[in-house]
Structure 1
Amino acid sequence: MKRLPACAAVPLRLWALLAAGPVLFLLFIVGASVFFNAQGVAPGLIGQKVSGLVTEALVTVLVCLGLLLALHGAQVRAAWSGRALEKAGSSAVVGALVGVVLAIAYIHWLAPLLGVLQRDVGDFVPPGSVLPTVSSQIGLFFVANVVLAPLVEETLYRGVALPVLAARFGWARAVAITCLFFGALHWAGGVWYMLLTGLVAGGLFAGLFCWRRSVVAPLAAHLALNAVEFAHALQLRGGL
């Protein structure tokens, strides 16, 4: 991968944008906990009620990140113009195929592995609770996971952040940094889910960007992955 021209430093506001997702999610959880406590909800039930709002938290955080991206208009336009769109069709096909393969691997192998790690090694979320929790409100889950997440997250982590970080640190370190922040965004799913998302999904999406030099490929992969995951969640609920 050709190294971009070096820049003096990564803008502070980009670091702030990368950290915004996990912080916003934490603020939502803390705010919801304080609200339920103020409403007189029994302490033992607060966690259960907050867990029921995870899907709302996802939508809120993604909308906020989308609005914050508007402050980086030049970088967003660069991510979605020029070379990024030259081979959009082939990049979309390649990305979608990778996303479907990843989705199949997740459903049949990675999700069971996640459950084993949560049960046998330990985690701060119950084993096997991630998908049932986030898909408890299937309509909002579709909005968050299929409509918002691929567009907002790929624009941020791969389209905007990765080229800027690569210009400062080189592509390998830039990929590692974006995987770290991408995983951290999913911290509410537990330690192992965060690592799985950051390393496997984040690594593949970043690799697609580096290979195709286009945000279209990781977007298509992310969209395909989440669409299959949504269909799987719907099937588990008896909707398919």
Structure 2
Amino acid sequence: MIDLVRFFAAQAFFIFAIQTLELSIVLLLLKCPGKPQYDLKDFFRANKSSKQRSWLLASVLGFGVLLSLVFITSYFAERLIGPKDVNNPFLKDILTGSWSSATACVLVYSIITPLLEEVVYRGFLLTSLASTMNWQLAVAISSVVFSASHFSGENFLQLLIVGFVFGCSYCWTGNLSSSICIHSLYNALIMYLTFIS
């Protein structure tokens, strides 16, 4: 039993290290291209047209909309396909392994991963796409890429919806604060539901 707890703790810290390294590399790559055009601070500054829009209000509304849409799609998926077990039994084992593995897991999924994914998919990809097309199409394309990058066929539609809500939140506020907040809350909720299931 102790060896299993150590195994899950080691896995949690490995995931933490890898995600932290990925975030560092992404931030470095955004900072150091031939012609630097992205600065992390810019992703958190509202543009002139969205200064009146509160990222906190967008976070609350976005999280409510996201939960509603995920609940509706989950309901219909369960009716059509049938109920499914815990999404990620490995995550459940890490969360229930020890306090240190659970802490590392919470840090990764509630802080590092949302920051990493929002900088990459909304800050960089969506911003780049929106500079060459209308924002609705840019949100749709970035949502498909976001969903596909998770390599989860059974969760593709749900992740597509998640990416769409994050993208709309980013476009409405003009900065990443709201999409990071919604992403963190959503991941925390998923971890809690995994933990109690």
Structure 2 gaps of 5+ residues are 1-9, 32-36, 96-101
TM-score w.r.t. the length of structure 1 is 0.59
Q: In 1, are the aligned partners of 2:45 and 2:174 still within 8 Å (CA)?
A: no
CA-based RMSD? 3.4
SS at the partner of 1:130?
A: coil
The aligned residue for residue 72 of structure 1 is 30
Deviation per CA, 1:165-193: give whole Å up to 9, x if none: 11123323322221122112211xx3121
SS at the partner of 1:214?
A: coil
CA distance in 2, matches of 1:180, 1:56: 30
The aligned residue for residue 136 of structure 1 is 93
How many matched pairs?
A: 175
Displacement after TM superposition at 1:214 (Å): 2.0
Displacement after TM superposition at 1:134 (Å): 2.7
Closer/same/farther in 2, CA of residues 215 and 223 from structure 1, 3 Å limit: same
TM-score w.r.t. the length of structure 2 is 0.70
**Percent identity over the alignment?**
20
Letter aligned with residue 133 of structure 1: F
Q: In 2, are the aligned partners of 1:55 and 1:141 still within 8 Å (CA)?
A: yes
The aligned residue for residue 57 of structure 2 is 93
Q: In 1, are the aligned partners of 2:87 and 2:194 still within 8 Å (CA)?
A: no
Closer/same/farther in 2, CA of residues 145 and 186 from structure 1, 3 Å limit: same
Select which of 177, 180, 186 maps to 1:216. 177
Taking the TM superposition and a 5 Å limit, the aligned residue runs for 1:155-234 are: 155-187=119-151, 190-197=152-159, 199-234=160-195
The aligned residue for residue 47 of structure 2 is 83
CA distance in 2, matches of 1:159, 1:103: 23
SS at the partner of 1:136?
A: helix
Point out which structure has higher relative CO (alpha carbons under 8 A, 6+ apart). Answer: 2
Structure 1 gaps of 5+ residues are 1-52, 121-126
Displacement after TM superposition at 1:57 (Å): 7.3
Displacement after TM superposition at 1:94 (Å): 2.3
